[in-house]
Amino acid sequence: MNNDNKNLSASSKHKKNLLIVLCLSGTYMIAEVIGGITTKSLALLADAAHMLTDVVGLFLAFVAIKIGERKATSQKTFGYYRTEILAAVINAVVLLGISIYVLFEAYQRFNNPPEVQSTPMLIVAGIGLVVNIIGIIIIRKDSSESLNMKGAYFEVLSDGLTSIGVMIAGIIMLTTGWYYADPLISAAIGLLIFPRTWKLLKEAINVLLEGTPKDVNIEDLRKSLESINGVKKLHDLHVWSLTSGVNAMSSHVIADRSEDMNILLKTLTEIATTDFKISHTTFQIETEGHKESEAHL
């Protein structure tokens, strides 16, 4: 039995906030690129590079939401939910790539650190920190409901951390004239971004591989369904995610011949959708003696 497709993913209701953050990030990115070139600061240019990936990543996330809202068709029977997961993967890969580049550039600058104009660098980074804090506040709560929004949130959060790092480097160079602070802070920023981004990438890939959602305990689900009166056993139980917050499942149910199959099907569906937050359910009701050519879980 399949539940109706509402064509609304967990991130759809947050697209307005995402668009606001996208505009803020895009405006500041232009100012930061100019500031980075003018001050010759790698830390500031690293922040500008992350802002560029922010703008691209946020734009991808927004486009993915719009595509994901399209209605299901005969060719795309589950709709376009997975577009949001693809956007999350792209965001994570780009962030990892930028982090590697910043680490490489920092290594190069350790050999010959250029003189950096610390005061303008501090001013630009300070403005960036304010912009990023606003963005973080706007979409922080949204990030817990969707991998797509989590990817966008990590983009903004990483830039907030970068802005803080740039300001620390600026203060050190302004007060001590130690220009190694610029590549050192840049390297620290690159390393700091890795763990969260890697986790996001693994979660998104798990969805693409149709792994069991982390918010569904498949053994608890099996026990709950098999405890229903009239259910003798489950087999071929599969649970996967279409996108964040939209889980689906299918299972073969061996039932007692004396049971009202319509009532049994209703009970199975209610438990799966209510207790385990599964949006799409498919149950094949069987009786003992029915043989499948292949069995799985």
Q: Which CATH number fits domain 218-287: 3.30.930.10, 3.30.70.141, 3.40.309.10, 3.30.70.1350?
A: 3.30.70.1350
**Confidence band, pLDDT 50/70/90 cuts, at residue 7:** very low
Residue 156 contacts by C-beta under 8 Å, 6 or more apart in sequence? 21, 25, 54, 58, 132, 135, 136, 139
Alpha carbons 261 and 214: distance in angstroms, whole number: 31
pLDDT digits (tens, 9 = 90+) for 134-179: 888 888 877 776 676 777 787 788 778 777 887 888 888 888 888 8
Instruction: List strand residue ranges (DSSP E) for the chain, in order.
Output: 231-243, 246-255, 280-287
Cα dihedral value 113, 119, 121, 123, nearest 10? 170
**Whether residue 254 has pLDDT greater than 70:** yes
Rounded to two decimals, the pTM is 0.67
Q: Which residues of the chain does CATH 1.20.1510 include?
A: 10-209
Region 37-55 average pLDDT: 69
**pLDDT tens per residue across span 226-251:** 999 999 999 999 999 887 778 999 99
Q: 10-209 maps to which CATH number?
A: 1.20.1510
CA distance 34 to 288: 73
List, by residue range, all CATH 3.30.70.1350 domains of the chain: 218-287
How many Cβ atoms from other residues are within 10 Å of residue 112's Cβ?
Answer: 8
